[in-house]
């Protein structure tokens, strides 16, 4: 946005250098478990990377908790909510060093049992009907993660063959922008994409507006796997 405004003000296209989006732009952080000096250094790093720091962790706002250990109440709430990523401070340092967002997956701090519990809760929130605050928060967190993954793969131009042998039918996405985003992410997994049914389909990726009767029918087919955005992001980030 700063680059656009600068170009408009100067009435010419300026070099983009110096106007790149900061690596932590749009992310909201809280911190737990660190001594004062380390805490202040982390706060400075977050702000330098374009992130927003708050001493209080807020369910509908916070996206990340930087944790030293797993004993604090903030950590417990992050796991309970299921939509705040708990990461080590090394992740912040790496993002700033490379000057772009990198996947949080290798830096997530979660015991196995807590990981499963939080992940199941997040998936349940995304799959359930209705318009609850928790579901909207989970959706917002997923959209942020999607944007970061898209930015990473567009910058690096790489393809991860995590779904190389899968043939995916895309179904139920009326929003053209979301459709393009989904298609881009699927192609980054190495999967083959189809828009019409044929007997070679192995998976169906559903968007925001699927046909419920069609999905019910697919669920009865034991050899067809139903995917959503969350599954595709996992297929990318867990392989990086």
pTM confidence score: 0.46
Q: Pick the residue with more confidence: 88 or 134? A: 88
Domain boundaries, given as residue ranges, for the chain: 2-134, 155-237
Q: Which CATH class is domain 2-134?
A: alpha beta
For residue 166, what are the contacts with CB-CB under 8 A and spacing of at least 6?
Answer: 189, 191, 192, 202, 203
Tell which CATH architecture fits domain 155-237.
Answer: 3-Layer(aba) Sandwich (3.40)
Q: What is the pLDDT of residue 192?
A: 87
More confident of the two residues 228 and 53: 53
The arithmetic mean of pLDDT across residues 123-133, rounded, is 55
The mean pLDDT of 42-68, rounded to a whole number, is: 92
Q: What is the mean pLDDT of residues 19-25?
A: 76
User: What's the rounded mean pLDDT across residues 57-86?
Assistant: 86
The pLDDT confidence band at residue 22, using thresholds 50, 70 and 90, is confident
Q: What pLDDT does 16 receive? A: 55
pLDDT band at 20 (very low <50, low <70, confident <90, very high): low
**pLDDT at site 30:** 95
**Identical fold, 2-134 and 155-237:** yes
Min mean pLDDT across 6-20, 122-136, 138-152 is at 122-136
pLDDT, one tens digit per residue, over 167-225 is: 888 887 765 667 788 888 888 888 888 877 777 888 888 877 778 787 777 777 767 88
- Residue count of the chain: 240
60 contacts 83 by C-beta, under 8 angstroms: no
Query: What's residue 64's pLDDT?
Result: 93
Q: Max alpha carbon distance in the chain (Å)? A: 61
């Amino acid at each position: 946005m700063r680059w656009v405004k600068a170009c408009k003000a100067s009435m010419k296209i300026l070099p983009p250098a110096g106007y790149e989006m900061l690596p932590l732009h749009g992310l909201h952080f809280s911190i737990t478990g660190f001594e004062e000096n380390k805490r202040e250094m982390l706060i400075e790093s977050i702000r330098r990377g374009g992130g927003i720091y708050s001493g209080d962790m807020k369910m509908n706002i916070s996206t990340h908790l930087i944790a030293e250990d797993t004993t604090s109440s903030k950590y417990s709430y992050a796991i309970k909510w299921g939509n705040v990523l708990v990461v080590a401070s090394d992740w912040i340092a790496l993002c700033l060093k490379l000057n772009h967002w990198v996947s949080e997956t290798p830096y997530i701090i979660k015991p196995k049992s807590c990981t499963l519990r939080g992940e199941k809760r997040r998936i349940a929130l995304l799959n359930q009907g209705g318009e609850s605050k928790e579901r909207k928060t989970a959706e917002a967190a997923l959209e942020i993660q999607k944007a970061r993954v898209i930015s990473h793969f567009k910058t690096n131009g790489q393809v991860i063959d995590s779904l190389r042998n899968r043939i995916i039918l895309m179904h139920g996405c009326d929003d053209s922008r979301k459709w393009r985003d989904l298609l881009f992410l699927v192609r980054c997994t190495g999967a083959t994409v189809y828009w019409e049914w044929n007997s070679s389909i192995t998976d169906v990726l559903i968007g925001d507006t699927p046909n419920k009767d069609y999905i019910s029918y697919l669920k009865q087919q034991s050899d067809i796997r139903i995917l959503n955005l969350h599954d595709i992001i996992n297929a990318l980030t867990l392989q990086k």
